[in-house]
Amino acid sequence: MADGSRIEWTEATWNPVTGCTKTSSGCKHCYADRMARRLKAMGVPQYQNGFAVTLHPDMLQVPQRWRKPRLVFVNSMSDLFHEAVPLGFIERVFAVMEGARQHTFQVLTKRPETALRFAGSVPWPPNVWLGTTVENAFYLHRVAALRRIPAKVRFLSLEPLLGPIPRLGLRDIHWVIVGGESGPGARPMDPDWARQIRDRCRASSVPFFFKQWGGINKHRAGRVLDGCTWDEMPLPSTVRGCPSVRLAATQR
């Protein structure tokens, strides 16, 4: 849990579950795995199991203590729909989100098929957004599953973007995030892959958020694409540095 986050597209993180297992090519250099091992070595109690999936019922009520409304990334250190997380616990997480309407919760999963299977068992209030990660064209099946889930805002995290996605369909998708891989062993992102997605988003009036170029030193590489900082969201937003650029629709 962190009241404040360095992740560009959110404002806080909330981790009622920690730990995960690698499920696709984008997981190869997982930042959460590295961070969990580091926190375990530091003696942080929440990470005594390292990166093994661990439920934290004591963390469930944390968002209700935050009075100021904020964007909350749910399980930045895990995947709520991991097969080791029981439906009963997922229901408890959704109950907390439904009861904390002052916040907007951003749930991101690499397992949208599991989310779809459970979709009828949990509420989908408008303050709960659901997204899936698609790192290259091989994982477009995740988008098809996401479309069938009744979240008011459905979003894609194309990070780490590991290849072109020329047939990315944006029907019933409300937001797209693009980012390169960062940290040790980071695989490079071709600028044209990002441009292709940006242009598709603009043609479809879907908000586009360019998170980072990535690399070993992501701060040095920055997050400017073609002279602009793209911060579009399904909320009032801006594209900094490009006053002549017409913003995509910000409320869908």
In a domain, 212, yes or no: yes
The model's pLDDT over 185-238, given as tens digits with 9 standing for 90+, comes to 999 999 999 999 999 999 999 999 999 999 989 989 999 999 999 999 997 655
Domain count across the chain: 1
Please, which residues have CB within 8 angstroms of residue 20's CB and are 6 or more apart in sequence? 27, 30, 32, 33, 51, 53, 77, 78, 79, 82
User: What pLDDT is attached to residue 245?
Assistant: 46
In a domain, 76, yes or no: yes
The model's pLDDT over 82-133, given as tens digits with 9 standing for 90+, comes to 999 999 999 999 999 999 999 999 999 999 999 999 999 999 999 999 999 9
The pTM score is: 0.93
What residue numbers bound the domain in which 204 lies?
A: 12-240
Q: 241 falls in which pLDDT band (50, 70, 90)? A: low
68 secondary structure, DSSP code: S
210: helix, coil or strand? strand
156: helix, coil or strand? strand
User: What pLDDT is attached to residue 191?
Assistant: 97
Query: Which residue type, as a one-letter code, is found at position 100?
Result: A
In a domain, 3, yes or no: no
Per-chain mean pLDDT for the chain: 93
In a domain, 4, yes or no: no
Give CA separation, 155 vs 21, 54, 205, in Å: 22, 26, 13
**Between 246 and 96, residue with greater pLDDT:** 96
The model's pLDDT over 61-75, given as tens digits with 9 standing for 90+, comes to 999 999 999 999 999
Distance CA 70, CA 3 (A): 9
Q: 1 falls in which pLDDT band (50, 70, 90)? A: low
In a domain, 250, yes or no: no
